[in-house]
Chains A and B, each alone.
Chain A
Amino acid sequence: MKKYTNFLKNSFLPLHVILFFLFIYIPLLVVIFLSFNSNVLNMMIWDGFTFDWYKSIFGFSTRLDEDAVYLESTDQLLNALKNSLVISVTTTIISTFIGTCLALAMVRYKFKFKAFYNALVYLPMIIPDIVLGISLLIYFVTIGVKLSIYSIIIGHCTFLCSYVFIVVSSRLAGMDDELEKASNDLGANEFYTFRKITFPLIFPGILGGALLSFIISMDDLVITYFIAGVDSTTLPVFIYGIMRRGIKPEINAIASLMIIFSLVIAALGIYYRSKKS
């Protein structure tokens, strides 16, 4: 009996951890699994393996065409994907520049309003997304900016600068400025020092910040939802729109592709960082 209770005591934590991992992984695995289900009538009942859903989202004709055509148009999907990519790449470039500049200023210099800036930089991240989304909507409408992918880019950068700042400044805080001082003492000009010393040293931080802002921008739903114009739907907003009208098997295939895409990017990023350090 004692042995038995001891066993229970010792296995409680590992058991909990196993359940934890099942909880976070099973939902995603189910989506990927069901995306290969050939049952057109009930997507929850396994009826054999098929690639048809994948073919159908890319606009190839399949046997599904006669039975069930769920997705309104492949063009809409591809357009949303294109918008998402354009927006994410542009916001990543802008917010990485602004965030890195701010990080250099905050870590390397002393100035009067530092405490104020320190509070200000966290504010866009911490206020609820919906508040930021509607305030941007009102702002754009009031000053007469047409809602388009440009308004989405502007909106994303307001909070992504802060994410880049946090990643880059933590990298900067971890290194001393001896090398930069030495370079200056040896007669190199500011720009040369930055290009040859500072930039290579903080590059992993900048890359990490850029990757994070790309992923967050690709995935942002709430803020984009409010400031997207008619022709500027992004992938998450597009899928959200379909999901509101009901669950359709094509979403399985789109979702699986998105899961695999983001997992590969995240895994590469984490692997790269662990290798560097």
Chain B
Amino acid sequence: MNNKRKLLFLLSPFTLYISIFFLGPILILFVYSFLEPGLYGGVVWNFYHHNYGRILGWADGIIEEFNPVYFKIFLNSFRLALITVIISLIICYPTALWISRQKPKLKVFLLFLITLPFFSSLVVRLFAWMLLLKPSGLINQFLSYIGLINSPLQMLFTETAVLIGLVYILIPFMFLPLYASIEKIDNSLIHASNDLGGNKIVTFLKITLPLSFPGILGGSILVFIPSLGNFIVPDLLGGAKVMMIGNIIEQSFLTARNWPFGACLAIILMIVVVVLLSFYVKALSKYEKIY
């Protein structure tokens, strides 16, 4: 077998598979977003741009109505995803910093301990938080035991619960890139800064923080994107009170049965994600030029 044929043999399974079962579906999603919703959940194969009009504002109210609520839910999802990123950064950074300073054997063991819980099922981890946050749950029991509250706090089905859930399921995606970049920092730079009279805070701000920038950026994007499109966490921990883009997409598919509209929301979500990723790539290459 010559090289060309071998290469063809190795490349063709992926090429075929991805063309048929990934690019095909994405293409048809795009086509669907421009179709007219039928009366009873079907579609009419007409070109129809009012799905986008409903969200982006040019629907005139005759055929479809523009509703700013979709825009608001997009913004709300952005806000929640951003808060999730910030909280996980605050939780993970000091931990990663401390672990990177330990002896090699302890480091390996602690990393093992950190990744272990996240191999357990997503539904199980969310179920655990439902148990903790319930009105009769452990957190309320604990708070009333120490006398801080008289009647149980409503914690389940709030925005806080959604944020806790998102942070909890996405923490490894923040921790691992962060740890990888902090770990790589050359210790002699930190010693040099200390020798030249920089105190701990100056050293941190001038050396550690800028050098761990790729990890911060990578972790943030890996947490932001899955939280933006999430619908499981708001569904289980937010009840009907917290709406994110994912929830409307799910509802327009399975409850409202307006598939073209759901497809349209999904296309917008996908475009947002691709734009964010291109910003990320740009920022990273800019950073690599400086350092």
The residues of A with any CB-CB pair to B shorter than 8 Å are: 12-14, 16-17, 20-21, 23-28, 30-31, 34, 42, 44-45, 97-99, 101-102, 104-105, 109, 111, 117, 120-121, 123-124, 126-132, 134-139, 142, 154-155, 157-158, 161, 165, 190, 215, 218-219, 221-222, 226, 235-236, 239-240, 243-244, 247, 251-252, 255, 258-259, 262-263, 265-267, 270, 274
Contact = CB atoms under 8 A, between A and B. Distances in A.
A28 B128 contact: yes
Interface of B: 1, 3, 6-7, 9-11, 13-14, 17-18, 21-22, 24-26, 28-29, 32, 91-92, 94-95, 97-99, 108, 112-132, 134, 136-138, 141, 168, 171, 225-226, 228-232, 235-236, 246, 249-250, 253, 259, 262-263, 266, 269-270, 273, 277
Contacts of B228: 128
Contacts of A155: 21
Given A131-B266, A155-B21, 14 more contacts: A17-B95, A21-B113, A26-B132, A101-B14, A105-B7, A105-B10, A127-B273, A128-B230, A134-B29, A136-B25, A138-B28, A138-B32, A154-B21, A255-B128
Contact of B95 (A20, A157, A258, A263): A20
A102 B13 contact: yes
B262 A134 contact: yes
Contact of B14 (A45, A161, A265): A161
A239 B123 contact: yes
Given A44-B131, A215-B119, A274 B13 contact: no
A7 to B, nearest CB: 15
Contact of B123 (A27, A105, A236): A236
B13 A98 contact: yes
Contacts of A139: 21, 24-25, 28-29
Nearest to B228: A128
13 contacts: A13-B94, A28-B125, A30-B128, A101-B9, A117-B14, A135-B26, A221-B122, A236-B123, A240-B232, A247-B127, A247-B131, A258-B120, A266-B115
Contacts of B236: 240, 243-244
A139 B20 CA distance: 10
B18 A120 contact: yes
Contact of A123 (B14, B22, B95, B249): B22
A20 B230 CA distance: 24
B131 A258 contact: no
B230 to A, nearest CB: 8
